[in-house]
Amino acid sequence: MTLEAEPAVAAELFGDRIEVARAFTANLVDQGEERGLIGPLELPRLWTRHVLNSAIAAPLFHGSAADVGSGAGLPGLVLAIARPDVAWTLIEPMERRVAWLSEQVDELGLDNVTVLRSRAEDVERAQFDVVTARAVSALRTLLPFTAPLVRDGGELALLKGKNAELEIDAAAKQLKKYRVSDVRVEVLGEGVLTETTRVVRATVRG
């Protein structure tokens, strides 16, 4: 299975961080499949579907941010590379994934990242400015794990698929329970990426 060639837009999105992004992507190619981080079918679309799909959301973050269920580091590590000015916490319960994330943080010199081996529900609440997750679960099941981590007035920025609007409708009860408001879907990367990114953005009130 051959790796997808780096799209020209990658250098634009990462700017002076492109070499770090290339190193991370190369490491994912070398070790991702054997360590159970990505499937073999993902290599031909690794840049387009995963790395750039995550990086396009970088402008949405500020201050302190958390990625729930970081897994291979998508989007958390990618966003931490693109936004060295943001303090990132990568929350992941599985030991082998935590080992991978910690290795990458050390190897890539990411001094703005903390890797936390924990379930989201066991993490101290209301401490982050922005909380994200990507392809973890449906919005209604994701909200109990993400919304409580956001400080009063902070934001959720959840990377979702094509059914994002339907997920919002199905999560009405949970949105009310966790005091999540101003919920909308933003489509990022139109005219820039071959596959756009849908982000469910919302404000959380404590």
User: Across 29-85, where does the E strand assignment appear?
Assistant: 64-68
How confident is the model over 52-66, as a mean pLDDT? 98
Predicted TM-score (pTM) of the model is 0.97
What pLDDT does 3 receive?
A: 77
Look up tokens 């970088």; give the residue: 58
Residue 51 pLDDT greater than 80, yes or no? yes
Please state, in angstroms and rounded to a whole number, the distance separating the CA atoms of residues 169 and 81. Answer: 33
Residues 122-159 pLDDT 10s: 999 999 999 999 977 899 999 999 999 999 999 999 99
Residues 4-30 pLDDT 10s: 899 999 999 999 999 999 999 999 999
What pLDDT does 173 receive?
A: 98
Residue type, 159: L
Residue type, 186: E
How confident is the model over 106-118, as a mean pLDDT? 98
How much of the chain is helix, strand and coil, in % rounded to 5?
45, 25, 30
What pLDDT does 206 receive?
A: 77
Looking from the CA of 91 toward its CB, the CA atoms found within 13 Å total 22
What pLDDT does 1 receive?
A: 58
Long-range contacts from 13-22, C-beta under 8 angstroms, 24+ separation: 13/52, 13/55, 13/56, 13/58, 13/82, 14/55, 14/81, 14/82, 17/81, 17/82, 17/84, 20/81, 20/108, 20/109, 20/110, 21/51, 21/55, 21/78, 21/81, 21/82
- Work out the mean pLDDT of the chain and round it to a whole number: 96
Structure tokens at 140: 């209604």
Question: Across-strand partners of 128?
Answer: 150
Residue 91 pLDDT greater than 70, yes or no? yes
Please state, in angstroms and rounded to a whole number, the distance separating the CA atoms of residues 97 and 182. Answer: 33
CB contact set of 125 (below 8 Å; sequence gap of 6+): 148, 149
